[in-house]
Amino acid sequence: MAHFAYQKQVALFDILGPVMIGPSSSHTAGVARIGYLARKLFGEKPHSVVVQFYGSLAATWKGHGSGDAIIAGLLGIPPEDERLREGAKILDNALADGTGFPIKIETIQKLPSGWHPNTVILSISNSKKQLRLRASSIGGGSIQIDEINGYQVSLSGMLDALLVVHRDEIGVIAIVSHILAANHINIAATSSHRKEKGDEALLVIEVDNPIPSSIVEQIQNLPPVFSVIHLPSLEQV
């Protein structure tokens, strides 16, 4: 029997609910959420997307409708929408009328050490930017985003989140936290990631309240900040 280093506690509610489109909570509903959140993170129409299914997903994606589900999510269809089962057909129609974009699905049976057996990597790009996201469907329709553009993160999509790319310097975290506090937004979790000291860094903040666009703009205008991505909670879908 294979043993995986990845461990994640799943609450009883996560297993029993919410209402999900099947046939599989992890291979269909969870995968759809990954696609949907990835499209939200990218924020605009891609020119192309490459989906890589690893491990268990690579072996069963056709039978469990994982391809249709992730395509639907990438097209912006919410995870609880019945149309998840028709993702490929909807994409064909969108390509025909010019509103779609190519989505290529690849399968990789070999799973890197420590990765969850239901892992997906999405590579999304257009002429202006690229997004590489690694995520896992951890059961009961729940997901975890594990990596964004080379940064190791841990996001479930169940809380509003800000991803702030900034110059690694003293005071940035304090300033962003002060802006949120001044607007009565409570921070639930925060983490900071950098590749090298003094280089680019990523600040990830999950909050309990919806974040108005005016606050996102205020943070974006800070001199050390390169970009801000607001990821709304899946509960707001």
- Mean pLDDT for the chain overall: 87
The answer to whether residue 16 scores a pLDDT higher than 90 is: no
**Domain with 181 in it: what CATH number?**
3.30.70.260
**Same domain, residue pair 166 and 145:** no
**Same domain, residue pair 143 and 44:** yes
Average pLDDT (206-233) is: 94
**Which residue blocks in 43-143 are alpha helix, DSSP H?**
55-60, 66-74, 87-97
Among residues 149, 177, 203, the one where a domain terminates is 149
**Same domain, residue pair 118 and 164:** no
The per-residue pLDDT for 46 is 96
The answer to whether residue 237 scores a pLDDT higher than 90 is: no
Average pLDDT (33-49) is: 93
Domain span holding position 190: 160-236
**Same domain, residue pair 24 and 138:** yes
The answer to whether residue 33 scores a pLDDT higher than 90 is: yes
The answer to whether residue 207 scores a pLDDT higher than 60 is: yes
Rounded to whole angstroms, the Cα distance separating 17 from 5 reads 26
What's this model's pTM, rounded to 2 decimal places? Answer: 0.81
Average pLDDT (147-156) is: 90
Cα separations (Å) of 204 from 27, 79, 80, 208, 228?
27, 23, 26, 14, 10
The answer to whether residue 125 is domain-embedded is: yes
Among residues 127, 149, 171, the one where a domain terminates is 149
The answer to whether residue 96 is domain-embedded is: yes
Among residues 119, 149, 179, the one where a domain terminates is 149
The per-residue pLDDT for 156 is 86
The answer to whether residue 5 is domain-embedded is: no
Pick from 53-57, 165-169, 194-198: least confident? 194-198
Rounded to whole angstroms, the Cα distance separating 145 from 6 reads 13
Please write the tens of the pLDDT for every residue from 78-88: 988 889 889 99
**Same domain, residue pair 18 and 97:** yes
**Same domain, residue pair 118 and 198:** no
Pick from 5-9, 28-32, 130-134, 145-149: least confident? 5-9
Among 57, 35, 54, 32, which residue's Cα sits nearest to residue 141?
32
The per-residue pLDDT for 72 is 96
The per-residue pLDDT for 139 is 85
